[in-house]
Structure 1
Amino acid sequence: STCGSSWYVSIKCLLFIFKLQYVMFTGTSGGGKSTIIQLLERFYDVTSGQILLDGIDIRQLNLHWIRSQFGLVSQEPILFDLTIAENIAYGLENVPMEDIINAANTANIHHFIEKLPQGYETKVGIKGSFLSGGEKQRIAIARVLLRRPKVLLLDEATSAMDSYNEQIVQEALEKAQTEDPSRTSLIIAHRLSTIRSCDLICVLDRGSIAQSGTHTELVQQRGVYYKMLRQNDLQ
Structure 2
Amino acid sequence: MSSSAGWYPQPDGQQRYWNGIQWTDHVAPGVVWLPPLDSGPPEFTAVRHRRNHVVAGLGIVLSAILVAFAVTQALANFTGPPIALSVLKVVNLTVTPSSGYRLDEPALLLCLSVAMILGVLGLLLLVTRVRFLGLIWRLGALASITLPALLAISHWRFISDPTSGLKEGTDISFAGQGLAMLADGARGLLWDITPGIGLYLFTAGLACAVLASLVPAIRREESMTVTANR
Fold conserved between structures, TM > 0.5: no
- The TM-score with structure 2 as length reference comes to 0.24
Tell me which structure has the larger Cα radius of gyration.
2
More helix per residue: 2
RCO greater where, 1 or 2, for CA within 8 Å and sep 6 or more?
2
